[in-house]
């Protein structure tokens, strides 16, 4: 099954690479504010679906652009597809995007392919058989200290996203790390955790096709994946943490209060912290540097170690 998924991913990657040669001619539609789909997304998805269903006509499909329109409706085998993860990057010629394909069997991801067509990087994983980048076996980073770790994330971009809440998350996480990065493709972010390029990743608002393939890569490379509360049931929860084990254990206590599963008291405390920060920002201060430092500092009971850049 993995070989068919690889064939589909490479075929989609060829479509993307051809289109990247003349991005200005690509037709672009807007699904909602700051959420785009191109004819390349659609052509890539069609090619992937045709390739998969030609080999496995009895399998189901869950794809970003067409949903569950294609394939069997009651199969225990479901291919989860993002034909172009990082569409906004692609539109701007920013070379961070990929094809993501996963196979879930009875709801559990068992096969994964992420293909980066700009670098010809092929990430693959089969449950119980490890994760690979091209022919190299992957292992997550061995770092154990969050303050030495590079963490990737995503920023809110849709109408209705809670920007203030996400800023507060950044205020909590950034001073504790060596750096926070926002590449713009969640699937590649997860693949990079699996490869040890970064130590961890977190983001809210994700859909199954954003996470499915990458999550198997991470676990097969020795990492952990869950929701913000640290629970393994994350694929349909729209929140995800992935990291090497020691860093995962340090991220969960920081992010758990921002989970949809946080207690009412934790959610109230977050709202109060955001309100306090906004109030402090609106008031004049004798020392601008002191105000900025106070805004970026974690809560007093969560003192942060020195950070990098």
pLDDT digits (tens, 9 = 90+) for 11-56: 999 999 999 998 787 777 665 544 566 888 889 999 999 999 999 9
Alpha-carbon distance values, 295 to 148, 263, 274 (Å):
22, 24, 10
In angstroms and rounded to an integer, the radius of gyration of the C-alpha atoms of the chain is: 20
pLDDT digits (tens, 9 = 90+) for 57-70: 999 999 988 888 88
Asked if residue 173 belongs to a domain, the reply is no
Asked if residue 39 belongs to a domain, the reply is yes
Q: Look up residue 140 and give its DSSP letter.
A: -
Decide which of 134, 166, 195 is a domain's last residue. 134
The boundaries of the domain holding residue 294 are: 264-298
Closest CA to 254 of 237, 231, 230, 222: 230
Asked if residue 253 belongs to a domain, the reply is no
Decide which of 84, 108, 134 is a domain's last residue. 134
Asked if residue 197 belongs to a domain, the reply is no
Is 183:100 a contact under the CB 8 Å cutoff? Answer: no
Please tell me the number of Cα atoms within 13 Å of 26 on its side-chain side: 25
d(C-alpha 233, C-alpha 244), whole Å: 18
CATH number (domain holding residue 28): 3.30.540.10
Examine the pLDDT at 188 and tell me if it is beyond 80. yes
CB atoms within 10 A of CB 166: 18
pTM assigned to the model: 0.86
pLDDT digits (tens, 9 = 90+) for 255-297: 999 988 888 888 888 888 877 877 877 766 555 444 444 444 4
Asked if residue 21 belongs to a domain, the reply is yes
Alpha-carbon distance values, 166 to 105, 171, 208, 228 (Å):
33, 9, 21, 13
Residue bearing tokens 């394939």 = 71
Asked if residue 242 belongs to a domain, the reply is no
Decide which of 103, 134, 165 is a domain's last residue. 134
Count the domains in the chain. 2
Q: Look up residue 125 and give its DSSP letter.
A: E
d(C-alpha 85, C-alpha 99), whole Å: 6
d(C-alpha 263, C-alpha 274), whole Å: 17
């Amino acid at each position: 099954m993995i070989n068919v998924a690889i064939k589909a991913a490479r075929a989609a990657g060829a479509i993307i690479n051809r289109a990247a040669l003349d991005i200005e001619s690509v037709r672009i539609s807007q699904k909602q504010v700051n959420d785009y789909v191109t004819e390349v997304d659609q052509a890539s998805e069609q090619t992937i679906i045709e390739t998969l269903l030609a080999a496995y006509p009895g399998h189901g499909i869950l794809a970003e652009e067409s949903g569950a329109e294609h394939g069997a409706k009651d199969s225990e085998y479901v291919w989860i597809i993002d034909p172009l993860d990082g569409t906004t990057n692609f539109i701007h010629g920013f070379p961070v995007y990929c094809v993501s394909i996963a196979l879930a069997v009875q709801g559990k991801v068992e096969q994964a392919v992420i293909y980066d067509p700009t670098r010809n990087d092929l990430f693959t994983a089969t449950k119980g058989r490890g994760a690979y980048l091209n022919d190299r076996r992957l292992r997550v980073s061995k770092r154990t200290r969050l303050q030495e770790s590079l963490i990737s994330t995503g920023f809110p971009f849709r109408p209705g996203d809670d920007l203030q809440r996400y800023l507060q998350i950044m205020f909590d996480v950034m001073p504790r790390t060596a750096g926070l990065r926002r590449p713009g493709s969640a699937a590649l972010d997860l693949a990079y955790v699996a490869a040890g390029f970064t130590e961890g990743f977190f983001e809210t608002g994700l859909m199954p096709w954003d996470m499915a393939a990458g999550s198997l890569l991470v676990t097969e490379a020795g990492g952990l994946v869950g929701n913000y509360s640290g629970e393994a049931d994350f694929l349909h929860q729209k929140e995800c943490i992935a990291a090497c084990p020691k860093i995962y254990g340090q991220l969960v206590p920081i992010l758990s209060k921002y989970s949809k599963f946080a207690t009412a008291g934790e959610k109230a405390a977050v709202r109060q912290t955001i309100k306090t920060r906004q109030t402090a920002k609106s008031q004049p201060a004798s020392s601008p540097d002191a105000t900025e430092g106070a805004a970026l500092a974690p809560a007093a009971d969560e003192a942060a170690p020195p950070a990098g850049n």
